[in-house]
Amino acid sequence: MNKVKAAVFASGNGSNFEAIMKHEKLACDVVLLVCDKPGASVIEKASSYSVQTFVLNPEDFESKGKYEEEILIKLEQEGVEWIFLAGYMRIAGETLLHAYERKIMNIHPSLLPAFPGKDAIGQAFRAGVAVTGVTVHFIDEGVDTGPIIAQEQVEIFPEDTEELLKIRIQKVEHVLYPTVINSILLSDKME
Ligand code: GRF
């Protein structure tokens, strides 16, 4: 049976993209990587998994709406039903949110609602909290504010450095994200 088609949106390194691709029993086919940063490492990673890449520079568009319309055309051409944001450093606008309502997930390196936005790991580290973590959530028009699907805690030790904490957080992300993707896709199929 054909699997549902998905796109990953990423701007940077792509370790979460890779974790999704490496999952042995992923319940969807990742048919597209959308990237807003020409030259980002994730583009090469996608090529190594033979995933088609769609790279755009938002600065080439007169508005966020126009930029997202271009993406939307591509998503529709490829039959994409689900979008997984994995280090996509942009807030989705109305165009995408409307076309993919409750079909766009994001992973964020903190226990939301704590430490939303950029540098969540650094924010938690500097705040001196004993526990931070990872959140997978549906997106809405806010910054890391959509409905939470799953969270996992990560302890911060007294002898920790920000770099060590980041490594542990990403290790958790790489297991949590594909697992949550699979369970949401499964429950969506049952509905
Ligand atoms: C991850 O920590 C993710 O939680 C955040 O951006 C980072 C992306 O890392 N949204 P990578 O590009 O997947 O390595």
With beta carbons less than 8 A apart as the criterion, state whether 146 and 137 touch: yes
Atom of ligand 1 minimally distant from the CA of 42 = 12
Measured distance CA(81)–CA(96) in Å, rounded: 12
> How far, in Å, is the centroid of ligand 1 from the Cα of 171?
11
Atom of ligand 1 minimally distant from the CA of 108 = 4
Q: How far is CA 106 from the centre of its chain?
A: 4
Q: The CATH number of the domain where 33 resides is what?
A: 3.40.50.170
The residue whose CA has the least distance to atom 4 of ligand 1 is: 108
Q: Among this protein's residues, is 108 annotated catalytic?
A: yes
Q: Which of 23, 98, 108, 174 is catalytic?
A: 108
Structure tokens belonging to residue 187: 């429950």
What 3-state class would DSSP assign to 18?
helix
Rounded mean pLDDT, 78-98: 97
Q: Between vectors from CA 98 to CA 103 and to CA 92, what angle results, nearest 5°?
A: 75
Instruction: Write out the binding residues.
Output: 14-16, 64, 106
Collect all residues with Cβ–Cβ distance below 8 Å to 120 and sequence separation of at least 6: 108, 109, 110, 132
How much is the pTM? 0.96
Query: pLDDT tens across 150-175, in order?
Result: 999 999 999 999 999 999 999 999 99
- The conformation of residue 175, written as its DSSP 8-state character, comes to H
Report how many domains make up the chain.
Answer: 1
Query: pLDDT tens across 6-39, in order?
Result: 999 999 999 999 999 999 999 999 999 999 999 9
- For residue 189, what pLDDT band results from cuts at 50, 70 and 90? confident
Q: What is the residue type of 181?
A: I
List the domain range (segments joined by +) for residue 24: 4-190
With the most atoms of ligand 1 within 8 angstroms of its CB, the residue from 8, 15, 22, 36 to mutate is 15
